[in-house]
Structure 1
Amino acid sequence: MDKFTRKTSFEQWLSPISSTKLEELVEAYQLNYYTKKLYIASFLKLLVFAQLNETESLRAVSDTLFSDDLQKATELESISFSQLGRRLNQVPTEVFQQVFLDLVAQIHKKTHFEKRRKMTTPLKIIDSSTLPLNLNNHKWAEFRKTKSGIKLHLRLVYLEKGCSYPDKAVLTNAIEHDRGQLEVLVDDKECMYVFDRGYLDYKQFDRMTDDGYFFVSRLRKNAVTHQIEKFHLPKNSTVLSDEMISLGTAQSRAGNEFRLLKVMDSKGNELHLITNRFDLNADELAELYKSRWAIELFFKWMKQHLNIKKFYGQSEQAVHNQVYIAMIVYCLNVLAQLGTNSSRTYLQISRLLKAAPWKSAHIWIRKIAGRAVP
C-alpha cells in the first residue's frame, strides 16, 4: 500500500476494486443505461460499506447517507431504500462475481500463487455452508417444508501463517447435494484438494485419479474396502494404520487403488481418510486433512462478522449478489493484510477501519501495520 496518500481509510481499503474493470462490466452489461442517480460504482461502494458495518436492512443503508463523509465517498447525497432494492434485483450476479474474481487474482499475485504452484503443491479446501432463508419470502429456494435456503459451495486456498482466502464459489439451492459441485470446483492438477465425506463419490474419485488430480477426503466407516497392502508406520506416528485398498463392492467397485488412513481426532474419534496420493508419508497426509478446519473458520467468520444472516432482497439475484458482496469484503481485508505485511487478523483490520473510516489512510495503514502513528 502507499506510504502516503490523501485518500481516506475507507477509500484506501476499497482501492483494489479496479475502476477500469468496473467500467468494462458497466459497458458489457449496460448497467448505467437510463440511470439518473444510482450508478454502479456508487452502489457498490454503498453496499460494501453496509456489509463492513453489518447494516441490517436497505432502509438502514439509506439512512447511513446522512453522513457527509459517506456522501462524498459514494457521490450520493441520498437514495431511497426502494431504489436500492430495485438496483439489487437488477444487477446481474456475474458483475459482483467478476469483481470478486479480480480481487482473487490480486491475492494470487501478492501471495505468489503461481510461483508456489511450480515449487510445491498448493492446498485447496472444498466445503459448503447452508444459509437459511425465510420460507414466505424466498419460496424459490426450496429446502425443507418449514424453511428455504441456499448453499454456498466454496473453494479455499490454504496458506500457512493464517492467510487463507476463497478463490471460487458456486451458489445453489440448499437442497442440492454437495457431490454435484465437486467436478466444478476441481480444475487445477497442480493443487491438492481436501474435502469432507459430503463429497463422497467413487466414480468421481476414479475420474479425478485418472485425470491426474490429487485429493484427501474422509470415508464413511461402513464403506466396503479390501486391503491390498499394509504399510509400515514409524513408532512415533500419530496414524493408527496405513493401507492400500480397493474400494466398493464387486458390483460397484472403483477402478483404482486408494490409500486408507485411520487416525484419531482431538475428541478421540477414529476417522477414516482416503487419498490417491502415495508419495507423502501418513502423518503428512493426516496433517493435510486437519487443514480442512480453515474453511470451517472461514464460514464462521462470514456468518459472525458479515451481513449474510439477514438478506436485503427476496429474489434469487438479490440474495446471490449479497453473498458475493460479503466475499468481496473478505478479500479486501486479505489484501489490506498482505499490502501492509500486517500480523493483524481480518477482524482487527475490520474493527480499525470501522472505528475511523474517514481518517487519513496513512494513519490506518500505519495502525494495521503495527507502526507508530506520528
Structure 2
Amino acid sequence: MDKFTRKTSFEQWFSPIFSTKLEELVESYQLNYYTKKLHIASFLKLFVFAQLNETESLRAVSETLFSDDLQKATHLEAISFSQLGRRLNQVPTEVFQQVFLDLVAQIHEKSHYEQRRETTTPLKIIDSSTLPLNLKNHKWAEFRKTKSGIKLHLRLVYAEKGCSYPDKAVLTNAKEHDRGQLEVLVDDKECMYVFDRGYLDYERFDRMTDDGYFFVSRLRKNAVIRVIEPFKLPEDSLVFSDEMVLIGTPQNRAENAFRLIKVLDSKGNELHLITNRFDLSADEIAELYKSRWAIELFFKWLKQHLNIKKFYAQSEQGVHNQVYIAMIVYCLNVLAQLNTNSSRTYLQISRLLKAAPWKSAHLWLRKIVGKTVP
C-alpha cells in the first residue's frame, strides 16, 4: 500500500507538527497532568482544524466534533466549549510559540535557506499590524478610549519564487510603538532588512550600521538632509536621484553617512529611501524596498483567511495563543508546498485541503502536485 494512503489529507498536512518538540514541551510544562481527555495533541489538532476552516466561535468548534472523521483524528468524541476555553487560556503561549519556531526551522531546511545565504543576501521584511479586539471583553488591551487591540510585530523571510514566511514574531499591546521592537527583530548580520518609516530612528540606524547590519527604509519627505555626494545614474534607471547624505538636525542627527534614493511608486508618489548599503545599484535598492508588499499580503491572509478578527478568548494569554495557532496554520501550508514542490499558492493548497480533509492523502497530494505522487 502506498505510504500516503494510510493518512487522511488533514493528517498528512498536520504531520510536520510531530517533528517539533511538542512532546518535550508537554513534559516540560506538564500540560497533560490531571487532564482526562483534552490532551494537548488533541487540543492542537482541533484548534488548527478550526482555524483552517475559519470557525467563528468556541461553541462552533465544539460542535464540529459531530463529525466522525474529526473525532477519529482528534481522539475526542465530544468536548464542551467551556472546556475548550479554559484550555486555550491555560496553555502557556511559549508552547505554541515554540511549535511555530520549530516549523520555521523545518521551512528553513526545506527551502535550503542556509545554502541560499552562501550565494545571496537573504531578505527579511519587518512590519507590524494591529489586530482589533472588543473593548468590553478585552479591557487589558485598551489603547484608546473606545478601542482595544494587540499589535503583531513580525519578521518575514522573503523569497522571489513565492516561498515567503514569518520566522519571528512579537505580540504587544497596540499602543506599543514599532521602533521599540526593531532591536528584537534584527539579530542576523547575514541578512538585508527592509522596514517602513514607522521604524525611523537615527540613533538606531547608527547602531545598526556600526554593528554591521544592512537595511533599507523609508525616510520622511520633510527630513533634514545634507548632500555629501551625488551618484551618477544609468540612462535607463527608474530612479531619479541617488546621493550620499547626512540626515538629521544638529540636535538629532545620525553620525554615519547614508544613501538617499528617490523613486516613484506605482501610483506616482515620490518615495525617499534610506539605506546603508552602497554596493548595490539604486534600482536594486528600490526593488528591495518594493518587496515590502509580501508582508502586507501575509497580514491580509492572517485577517481574511484565518478569521483572526474573531478571537475565542478574552484573556491576554488566550488571544496570544490563537495568533500563534494561526501562524502555525500558515507554516503548515508553506511546508505542504515545499514538501510537494508544488506551484500552487498557499491559498489554493488550503482550499483543496478544506474541500476534502478526510479523503486519502494520496489524492490531495496528487491534486496539489498536478500529477501522480510516486
Question: Could you tell me the TM-score, scaled by structure 1's length?
Answer: 0.98
Q: Is the 8 A contact 2:150 2:173 kept in 1?
A: yes
- What residue is the counterpart of 1:297 in the other structure? 297
- Distance of aligned partners of 1:20 and 1:144 in 2 relative to their CA distance in 1, 3 Å threshold: closer
1:107 aligns with 2:82: no
Which string of whole-angstrom CA distances, capped at 9 and with x for unpartnered residues, describes residues 232-282 of structure 1? 000100001000001111122211000000000011110000000000010
In structure 2, give the amino acid aligned to 1:15.
S
- Distance of aligned partners of 1:245 and 1:47 in 2 relative to their CA distance in 1, 3 Å threshold: same
Superposition map of 1:29-44 within 5 A: 29-44=29-44
Q: Alpha-carbon deviation of 1:136? A: 0.6
Q: Is the 8 A contact 2:154 2:170 kept in 1?
A: yes
Instruction: Write the distance in 1 (CA, Å) between the matches of 2:220 and 2:20.
Output: 49
Q: Is the 8 A contact 2:20 2:103 kept in 1?
A: no
CA RMSD of aligned residues (A): 1.2
Q: Which runs of 5+ in 2 are unaligned?
A: none
- What residue is the counterpart of 2:45 in the other structure? 45
Instruction: Write the distance in 2 (CA, Å) between the matches of 1:237 and 1:174.
Output: 40
Q: Alpha-carbon deviation of 1:22? A: 1.0
- What residue is the counterpart of 1:118 in the other structure? 118
- What residue is the counterpart of 2:143 in the other structure? 143
- Distance of aligned partners of 1:75 and 1:335 in 2 relative to their CA distance in 1, 3 Å threshold: same
Superposition map of 1:249-288 within 5 A: 249-288=249-288
Q: Is the 8 A contact 1:367 1:373 kept in 2?
A: no
In structure 1, give the amino acid aligned to 2:151.
K
1:177 aligns with 2:180: no
> What is the aligned length?
373
Instruction: Write the distance in 2 (CA, Å) between the matches of 1:252 and 1:313.
Output: 44
Q: Alpha-carbon deviation of 1:350? A: 0.6
Q: Alpha-carbon deviation of 1:370? A: 1.0
Instruction: Write the distance in 1 (CA, Å) between the matches of 2:10 and 2:372.
Output: 20
**Displaced runs of 4+ in structure 1, greater than 4 A?**
none
1:309 aligns with 2:309: yes
1:205 aligns with 2:205: yes
Give the percent of matched residue pairs that are identical in Structure 1 and Structure 2.
Answer: 87
In structure 2, give the amino acid aligned to 1:235.
E
Instruction: Write the distance in 2 (CA, Å) between the matches of 1:337 and 1:149.
Output: 32
Q: Is the 8 A contact 2:216 2:285 kept in 1?
A: yes
Instruction: Write the distance in 2 (CA, Å) between the matches of 1:186 and 1:132.
Output: 26
Q: Alpha-carbon deviation of 1:4? A: 3.3
Instruction: Write the distance in 1 (CA, Å) between the matches of 2:5 and 2:20.
Output: 20
- What residue is the counterpart of 1:18 in the other structure? 18
Q: Alpha-carbon deviation of 1:18? A: 2.1
Which string of whole-angstrom CA distances, capped at 9 and with x for unpartnered residues, describes residues 63-109 of structure 1? 00000000000000000000000000000000000000000000000
In structure 2, give the amino acid aligned to 1:71.
Q
Instruction: Write the distance in 1 (CA, Å) between the matches of 2:75 and 2:19.
Output: 15
SS at match of 1:309: coil
Which string of whole-angstrom CA distances, capped at 9 and with x for unpartnered residues, describes residues 297-338 of structure 1? 111111110021000000000000000000000000000001
- Distance of aligned partners of 1:373 and 1:113 in 2 relative to their CA distance in 1, 3 Å threshold: closer
Q: Is the 8 A contact 2:242 2:259 kept in 1?
A: yes
- What residue is the counterpart of 1:94 in the other structure? 94
SS at match of 2:70: helix
Instruction: Write the distance in 1 (CA, Å) between the matches of 2:84 and 2:334.
Output: 27
